[in-house]
Amino acid sequence: MPTGDPTRVVVVGGSSGIGLAAVERFAADGASVYALSRRGVAPPSGRPERAASGRPGTVTSLAVDATDADAIGRCLAGVVVEGDVDTLVYCAGLNVPERRLCQLTPATWRAVVAANLDGAYYAVAACLESLRRSRGSVILVSSASVLWTNQSGAAYQASKAGLMALARAGNFEEHGAGIRFTTIFPGVVDTPHLDRRPRPPDEATRRQMLTPDDVASACRYVAGLPPRVCIPELVLLPTALQTPGNTCVE
C-alpha cells in the first residue's frame, strides 16, 4: 500500500456511535470493512458503497464479543484468511452510571476494563502478524479524560489510559515492522453512551458536542497518511464546550 490508502479495515465496536461512523466512512472511501460488534448489526448503509474514485466499498457485519479473547481470535483469523488487514480501529467501549470510586464494584470495574482495554489487546494480538505483512495501522479511540480528568470515573479513565500505553508500547516495539499505532483522544461526543450518565446532557448541550463522524473523519485521515508518517496521539475537543485542562461537561 504505497499510498497508505486503507483497503481492508476492521472496526471493533462497529454497530453504533463512533464505530458505526468509522465503518461508513471507510466503506464510502472504497474499503472492504469488517464491522465487529456483540450485536452483529449491519449498518443502515451496509450495502456496497461506491467512492468518488469508483472503487467499490463493502461492509461485512460480524457478531463477536470483544471481551472474549478466544471468540475475537477466531473471528479475526477468519477475516485474515480472506486477506491481510491494513487498518484496525478499536472503538468498543463501556461506562457505568455508578462510576465514582465509592460506587464502583469489582464487577463493574472488570466490565469497564474488559470492554475498553482487554478487547483492544485481544484484537491487536489477533491481527498483529497480518498488520506486519501489510505494514498497517492501529487506531485506538481513547478519551480526553485520560489527559484532563473529569467526572467520567476511575474505571473508565484508567482503562482508556491503558489504550494510550498499549499504543505507545506498540509503536516502540513494532515501528520497525512498519506498523503505526495512533491513540485518538476525543472530548465529549454525542453518542448513546451519554444516556448512561448519572445526569444525561440536554439537547442544547448535545448539539455543541463532537459528532461520531468528526472522530471517524480523524480515523480516516490518520489511516490514509503515507506509510512514512505516524501520528502517535491526536486530541479532538468540541470548541464551545471543552478546552485543554477543562473537559468537564454536565
Residue pLDDT, tens place only, 150-168: 999 999 999 999 999 999 9
pLDDT at 52: 43
Sign of the four-CA dihedral 170, 171, 172, 174:
positive
pLDDT on residue 41: 66
C-beta of residue 48 within 8 angstroms of C-beta of residue 19: no
Percent of the chain past pLDDT 90, that is, above it, reads 83
Q: How far is CA 241 from CA 86, 117, 140, 161, 200, in A?
A: 35, 27, 23, 22, 15
Positive/negative CA dihedral, 221, 222, 226, 231: positive
Return the domain boundaries, the chain.
8-236
Q: Which of 84-93, 112-121, 142-151, 193-202 has the lowest mean pLDDT?
A: 193-202
For domain 8-236, the question of CATH label 3.40.50.720 is answered with yes
Pairing of strands 49-50, 56-63: antiparallel
Q: Is the pLDDT of residue 220 over 90?
A: yes
